[in-house]
Amino acid sequence: MKTVNSINFLNKRAVIRVDFNVPLNDAFEITDSTRIKAAIPTLKKILKDGGSIVLMSHLGRPKEGPTSKYSLKHIVAEVSKQLGTAVLFTNDCMSDEAFLKSSSLKNGEVLLLENLRFYKEEEKGDEAFAQKLSKHGNVYVNDAFGTAHRSHASTAVIAKFFTPENKCFGFVMAGEVESINKVLTQSQKPFTAIIGGAKVSDKILIIEQLLGKANNIIIGGGMAFTFVKAMGGQIGKSLCEEDRLDTAKKLIENAKQKGVNIYIPTDAMIADNFANNATTKECNITQIPEGWMGLDIGSATIKQFGEVIKNSKTILWNGPMGVFEMSSFEKGTKQVAFDIVEATKNGAFSLIGGGDSVAAINKYNLAEQVSYVSTGGGALLEYIEQGSLPGVKAIEE
């Protein structure tokens, strides 16, 4: 894979798509700078070589063109602090002044462009806009995995204006792509995919893709109840997508045909209402009484899932096993997280991806004890569904 390590940046100006879409509070202070910190190794490598850097990113979803609220000026000081060097700023991306600033950069200097999404051309993937953006540098680096599933001007289209030897991945992108490939194309068997979360409809394509790759598919979370009902179980007022019952049934049949083991919970922690202080009890998942809902997997299921996970050599986890945000219903999700850690200690490769499973692994402070925690929820899921991403293809082509 072509990364910044394959290029010597001495006397080169790298135009880098980063993901600095960080959360800001009402006073425009950054509340979580993880994304800025993640990009620093890529930037340091380029500066160490003796190159200069033009950074481009989006921030939020500005709809009306330039808006102070979404200006990247709010993050300049933090980027500078994390990088340990001054960062210049230009309050647009396309003016003569912006190009004068980028073309005047000396080796070792860094310039941050204003929010790309102040231009409607960015999200439209406009070619002329992308071509003009490309003039900010002579090497293109994509290190924004979180937006790699978009065919935007700065994430994909721009790459065609650079020759193959002048475009590459940054370390964030490279790490993500390598870890996904370890799971999707080079997985050591048994490979277990753990899929949870609220809705079956969000995960159908992923489960279909995984049927061709995984040995075991564990289904948990709210979506499990659609599977249980599809197989004839009584699920009370648990989450259910009535219009997906057939799909769920077909997925189970397809799995059987392909020799993939599908694990659906056998018992559940049920509650009389959706609240942490609700009355709770455990029951067989096919016999949930009327008026009760399943909000977590039960103890027998936790044990069974744990055995499968601990016997795996490759693990992909997306989506919680229950309403883990409430302490009464976090047991299943928490135990799955600890089982993945144990499997990882025993040599398995574990990839955690998708918003809520990442939130869960962080809640239990286990991020350092799994193999890889993906930074791009939507991008990771789309990578699994499609087998690649526009932002990845654009560099590889």
Catalytic residues: 35, 199, 355, 378
- Binding footprint of ligand AMP on the chain (CB under 6 A): 197-199, 202, 221-222, 239, 294-295, 319-320, 322-323, 325, 355-356
Minimum separation from the CB atom of position 377 to ligand AMP (A): 9
Closest CA to 167 of 12, 338, 298, 303: 12
Q: How far apart are CA 383 and CA 180, in angstroms?
A: 8
Q: Which contacts (CB < 8 Å, 24+ apart) does range 364-367 have?
A: 364/334, 364/337, 364/338, 366/337, 366/338, 366/340, 366/341
Minimum separation from the CB atom of position 313 to ligand AMP (A): 25
Residue whose tokens read 């179980």: 233
CB 203 within 8 A of CB 176: no
Distances (CA, A) of 15 to 94, 114, 181, 340, 394: 14, 13, 26, 38, 15
Minimum CB distance to ligand AMP smaller for 49 or for 202: 202
Q: How far apart are CA 264 and CA 300, in angstroms?
A: 12
Minimum CB distance to ligand AMP smaller for 51 or for 320: 320
Minimum CB distance to ligand AMP smaller for 141 or for 352: 352
Q: How far apart are CA 71 and CA 60, in angstroms?
A: 9
Q: How many CA atoms lie within 13 A of 165 on its CB side?
A: 3
Residue whose tokens read 């230009």: 90
Minimum CB distance to ligand AMP smaller for 173 or for 223: 223
Query: 188: which DSSP letter?
Result: P
Q: Which residue is nearest to ligand AMP (CB)?
A: 197
Minimum separation from the CB atom of position 152 to ligand AMP (A): 24
- Would you state the structure tokens that stand for residue 283, as one six-digit string? 């029951």
Query: 351: which DSSP letter?
Result: E
Minimum CB distance to ligand AMP smaller for 202 or for 282: 202
Minimum separation from the CB atom of position 297 to ligand AMP (A): 9
Cα-based angle 304, 272, 277 (whole degrees, multiple of 5): 90
Q: Residue 85 burial (CB < 10 Å; 0-12/13-18/19+)?
A: middle
Minimum separation from the CB atom of position 300 to ligand AMP (A): 16
Minimum separation from the CB atom of position 148 to ligand AMP (A): 20
Q: Which residues contact 310 (CB under 8 A, 6 or more apart)?
A: 339, 342, 343, 346
Coil, strand, or helix at residue 248? helix
Minimum CB distance to ligand AMP smaller for 117 or for 203: 203
Amino acid, single-letter form, for residue 262: I
Minimum separation from the CB atom of position 317 to ligand AMP (A): 11
Minimum CB distance to ligand AMP smaller for 112 or for 293: 293
Minimum separation from the CB atom of position 327 to ligand AMP (A): 12
Q: How many helices (H) and strands (E) does the chain have?
A: 14, 17
Coil, strand, or helix at residue 43? helix
Taking residue 214's Cβ as centre, other Cβ atoms within 10 Å add up to 29
Minimum CB distance to ligand AMP smaller for 125 or for 236: 236
Amino acid, single-letter form, for residue 176: E
Sign of CA dihedral 389, 392, 395, 396: negative
